[in-house]
Amino acid sequence: MQKFTACLLLFSLLACNSPKQEPSLKLYVLDGGRINVLNARAFSETDVYAGQSFLFANPIFVIEHSKGRLIWDLGLPEAIAGMPGGMYTPDSIFHLTVEAGLSDQMKTIGLAPDSIDYIAFSHCHFDHTGNANYFSHATWLVQESEYEFATRDSLPPQAGYSPDSYSALSKVQKLDGEYDVFGDGLVKIIPTPGHTIGHQSLSLQLPSYGPVVLSGDLYHTPENRKEKRAPRFNYDVAQTRESMEKMEAFLTENGAKLIIQHNMEDYESLPKIPAYLD
């Protein structure tokens, strides 16, 4: 009888202490502002978008893996949130607004900037690096070609880079191609050059949602994707198309969904913090 009671006690202890099964990978979607493209002409090599305007989402992603956290793309600077009416880029093509600052959003999911281990941008254009300097202790995962370009002594303003926005990043891990961030295939950086010299995308194997790719600016709209249109301001338009072809093959092979980061519909379809995708 004593033995039975002991067994029962042990059983209930084990049952009580069994840890709740936490998902091995979580994707948090944060808001990095809006970009109103007042004249979308430049988003194709032809004039098919001349006179049209686009409203772009601009998400920031936090990827939580059991071995660490990665923040992917850093949105527009949260300082814009304090500017009534937002701001215009000097060429007056883009109107930028930020509603919620990144710092407050991080608090919503209980994270301080120093809890982030890795920082990576799809590429270093200003709308993807705005809040990077908060993460100066994190390791910057960047294609070597992008790093060399982004940190050149002089960059023409039309290149779209804002070197001050990532100047505090000093722990740099230069990549040359694909990179498996946590070594188990769940979070992989995939080179997709063309939009910029070292543009990259992020492949995630989410346990419930399934495989998904965050495509940075490989595509800007579903129409761009369907018609294989590349912005005329891309670093290399032909290389962009090659990357598009490789990406489409990768998506088919892996049965992966694609999130076009600037596409409002894709953005709106994702759960918002504190909810997450797993």
CB 110 within 8 A of CB 96: no
Single out the segment in contact with Zn ion by CB under 5 A; choices: 61-69, 99-107, 213-221, 269-277.
213-221
Residue number, nearest CB to Zn ion = 125
What is the three-class DSSP state of 277?
strand
199 binds Zn ion per the rule CB under 5 A: no
Minimum gap (Å) between residue 211 Cβ and Zn ion: 24
Q: Residue 206 CB: number of other CB atoms within 10 A? A: 20
Minimum gap (Å) between residue 217 Cβ and Zn ion: 4
Reading the block at residue 225, the tokens are 């994707």
Instruction: Rule CB under 5 A: choose which of 34, 65, 125, 225 binds Zn ion.
Output: 125
Minimum gap (Å) between residue 204 Cβ and Zn ion: 21
The residue (of 43 and 140) whose beta carbon lies closer to Zn ion is 43
Single out the segment in contact with Zn ion by CB under 5 A; choices: 39-47, 100-108, 209-217, 233-241.
209-217
Instruction: Rule CB under 5 A: choose which of 166, 217, 220, 240 binds Zn ion.
Output: 217
- Burial label for 27, CB within 10 Å (0-12, 13-18, 19+), is buried
The residue (of 58 and 186) whose beta carbon lies closer to Zn ion is 58
Distance CA 278, CA 262 (A): 21
With CB under 5 A, what is the number of residues at the site for Zn ion?
2
CB 28 within 8 A of CB 65: no
Distance CA 59, CA 31 (A): 5
The residue (of 142 and 186) whose beta carbon lies closer to Zn ion is 142
The residue (of 141 and 186) whose beta carbon lies closer to Zn ion is 141
Q: Helices marked H in 171-218 — which ranges?
A: none
- Contacts for 257 with CB less than 8 Å, ≥ 6 apart: 209, 210, 211, 212, 213, 251
The residue (of 65 and 195) whose beta carbon lies closer to Zn ion is 195
Distance CA 65, CA 54 (A): 34
Minimum gap (Å) between residue 127 Cβ and Zn ion: 7
- Contacts for 110 with CB less than 8 Å, ≥ 6 apart: none
Per-residue binder mask for Zn ion (CB under 5 A), 5-24, x = binder: --------------------
The residue (of 70 and 230) whose beta carbon lies closer to Zn ion is 230
| Residues making contact with Zn ion (CB under 5 A) | 125, 217
